Structure 1
């Protein structure tokens, strides 16, 4: 037997680099999920708003109200879908531990949420898992852009996913279209943001959402 027969197989430099990158991502995901499980919301340090993606994070009061509303409008073992509103995920995951929380989001940074993350682009509204049709007790959506196209296509996704209850957050300028597309009504509850928005922002629902956030 030659010395070469005793040598262990070696990974190429490119394969080794890819493996190291994979392990690094897994480690970072583990650390982030530990952070999410301990904190009430996504840290602004970890995830800054990306204004090019029209991202505007909710303030603490709004997040707390949404969590109360979700708890009061879904069964203990229910399913909640979040469309383009990632700042609700962390506290919902923590407070609604028995419920399934699924985030449909374009920003791939949030893939760190593992199986709870579904890559989503409103421009392809039905490019979501087919088995999720009519599976969610509550769908909360915040379309990223104040445009007819964005709201119309997001509404297709909402109607595909929801079993019953819908909460929509968008600008007041979209009121007429929102009511027409989703049969929702404007709520008294007004969502707030960490950074003030130039446009008047509203909340709409197809049930008495105001009662659930009291």
Structure 2
């Protein structure tokens, strides 16, 4: 008959290295949660340059197709949305929260004196800590506050899934939001950026043909990498990219 001590010997034991990894994981998780709670508590405050925002607070959920851009990519995209903008400009960010975060950071610096209206449409309700947030589900592409319809001069969209259905519904949202549906080369034309997979190029070209959207040379880099080839499509050229 086995003794109690023998049963204890059969109990699986984690190695010291594994325990150390688990400890670091839980410490990092607790730190991110604390950062998020601090951000939530300050949500009603005006952020300044000393309160730089970071996407690290918002842990990616790959099951929800969340893949954040790295800071360099997000900042470059944000700068193009701000280039030539005025206090009257209205910018909407659709499913690209890392670009929204960098818009907030840039507008909090001395570099930008303008105060355009920025709006974030996003499925993840954690971003409701920001007053600019509106919940957005691509499955219901027009279920948005009516006051947003036909309001925006500049739009960036990163549809969450690489499917024809998702891309088409996201395009419906973009068209509904746009103040005008003409090329950026036209006076008061729409300035549009769409970031999505390379294999969606034929559909993107079709969906946004009327506003002159084409594939660009800009390299979209994700903070934690992405196996799918990603592209930036836009209806204008700039210092950050050319059409290819």
What TM-score, normalized to structure 2?
A: 0.70
Q: Which residue pairs with 2:9 in the alignment?
A: none
Q: Tell me how far apart the structure 1 counterparts of residues 135 and 158 of structure 2 sit (CA, whole Å).
A: 15
The alpha carbon displacement at 1:40 in A equals 4.2
Greater relative contact order (Cα < 8 A, sep 6+): 1
Indicate how the Cα distance of structure 1 residues 53 and 148 shifts in structure 2: closer, same or farther if over 3 A, else same.
same
Contact 2:217 2:241 in 1 (8 A): no
Between Structure 1 and Structure 2, the one with more helix by share is: 1
Q: Tell me how far apart the structure 2 counterparts of residues 81 and 60 of structure 1 sit (CA, whole Å).
A: 19
The alpha carbon displacement at 1:62 in A equals 0.4
| Unpaired runs of at least 5, structure 2 | 1-35, 108-113, 180-189
Q: Tell me how far apart the structure 1 counterparts of residues 206 and 84 of structure 2 sit (CA, whole Å).
A: 23
Q: Tell me how far apart the structure 1 counterparts of residues 222 and 53 of structure 2 sit (CA, whole Å).
A: 13
Q: Tell me how far apart the structure 2 counterparts of residues 32 and 123 of structure 1 sit (CA, whole Å).
A: 28
Q: Quick check: which has more Rg, 1 or 2?
A: 2
Indicate how the Cα distance of structure 1 residues 172 and 73 shifts in structure 2: closer, same or farther if over 3 A, else same.
farther
Greater shift in the superposed pair: 184-193 or 96-105? 96-105
- Cα RMSD for the two superposed structures: 2.4
User: Is the partner of 1:134 in helix, strand or coil?
Assistant: coil
Q: Does 1:42 align with 2:42?
A: no
Between Structure 1 and Structure 2, the one with more strand by share is: 1
Q: Which residue pairs with 2:192 in the alignment?
A: 166
User: Is the partner of 1:57 in helix, strand or coil?
Assistant: coil
Query: 2:239 pairs with 205, 211, 214, which one?
Result: 211
The alpha carbon displacement at 1:166 in A equals 1.1
- Tell me how many residue pairs correspond in the alignment: 187
What TM-score, normalized to structure 1?
A: 0.79
| Unpaired runs of at least 5, structure 1 | 1-24
Q: Which residue pairs with 1:178 in the alignment?
A: 204
The alpha carbon displacement at 1:146 in A equals 0.3
